[in-house]
Structure 1
């Protein structure tokens, strides 16, 4: 393993190459299907060289998930209680959709972990993620009580946002197979649709 001393430029480059390769391999094969040999080959390094930086497959996977959870919390953290309610929620939807566009491998890595029962990040789901979701759910409930948005279950509203945005990363092949888009043009169409749908659903009756 790398010592606690500052890493050299080459060490930083190799570590980054390993994590990038691991993201590719894990997002395609899941944790169980991925091997250190595949990761090393994709990174252009030998397996012993990889083991210098990460002692096990679990260690590589853990480093990826730790960084991923930080990214995953940011869009929801940005939802502010003093903003215009529908605008705040729609902005969150669009932030999540943009993450699906620019971080599809990260989304699939997360989905693979959840499908397996989240054995490596359940403590984070039951801790920081749940705390954040509960906090934002209270804000959304407050807006509903004030009559500023429709009375919708806030937790299931958030779950629906995850489902409708991360779908474009996790089921990318299916979406592209049906739509045959030019590049990422379908994300613009999805953004228009999702904004229209959520504004209609959230508007007070």
Structure 2
């Protein structure tokens, strides 16, 4: 069983992480350039909690924040080794089989928390999150190599990003619908300060005379 799983890790999982910044997509914190903080001296960046996308209901914002925080604790919070961040999930997974089972249970709890948003998750998105947890569990069964690949794959972070992207698009659709219903009236597009490029554009516009 180990050989097919190891082959799957090599051919798909590790290659896939090029788009995921090799496991460096921190779901909860970001390093903000000093230029965005109005500072020219001192540290070049400052670690700050990521902003929540605009237009979310209070419940959706709370759920997203909890999911991102739990993903950070399970995938990132402990230490950095060879450029890979490790969290409690990675440490728990070092215990053969039982650790992998517990790690999968914790990941399923994160996926279940995602369903608490208003209206719940679409079935296709929930299935994708569950599949991420299953893949994470399977690759973790391979001794050592699987544990390392598990730390790179980061199912919880992937699911947190899936949830954030879905809620961002959900809020954008609601904003577009509100714009159509208010034709003829002035309507300002919501600025998403959780996106660095929008933050910079907004800051430049407000600073211009």
Please state which band the TM-score falls in when normalised by the shorter chain: under 0.3
TM-score (norm 2): 0.23
TM-score (norm 1): 0.24
